[in-house]
Amino acid sequence: MGRKDAVIVGYDAISPLGSDLQAQWQNALEGKSGIGPLTRFQLPEGFPVHIAGQVPDIDHEKKKYPFLSARHQAAWSSPVFKYSMLSVARALERSRIELSPDIARRTAVTYSSAIG
């Protein structure tokens, strides 16, 4: 089989260290940790764990996802799905690639998540 080249043209990340690459890099340089008190939900009394790595809150209402209709965006329920769509949208924007029928068959998005 012939050699197939791959080119990475866009990337992004959302993590407990920051909701965008710039914040993550700055926090890493400053030696900050993404681990802190669990704040997203009430813990049962006597629960042994009180810390976690939580992604900072992101205002998804201000974000635009050009590849999804408003109806689809309104139906989102899982924060993990929102974070994944945001990171894909930012990676595509960063790539400056113009998706067209000419390149659609040779274009792919690879996404990974530790949870979700």
Q: What is the pLDDT of residues 63-105, one digit of tens each?
A: 666 666 666 665 666 777 778 888 888 888 898 888 888 888 8
What's residue 23's pLDDT? 93
> SS3 for 15?
strand
* Residue 8, pLDDT score: 75
Q: What are the structural domain ranges in the chain? A: 21-43+50-95
Amino acid 107 reads: T
- If one compares 67 and 12, the residue with the highest pLDDT of the two is 12
> How confident is the model over 9-15, as a mean pLDDT?
89
| Radius of gyration of the CA atoms of the chain, in A | 18
Mean pLDDT of the chain: 82
Buried b (16+ CB within 10 A) or exposed e, 48-79: eeeeeeebeeeeeeeeebeeeeeeeeeeeeee
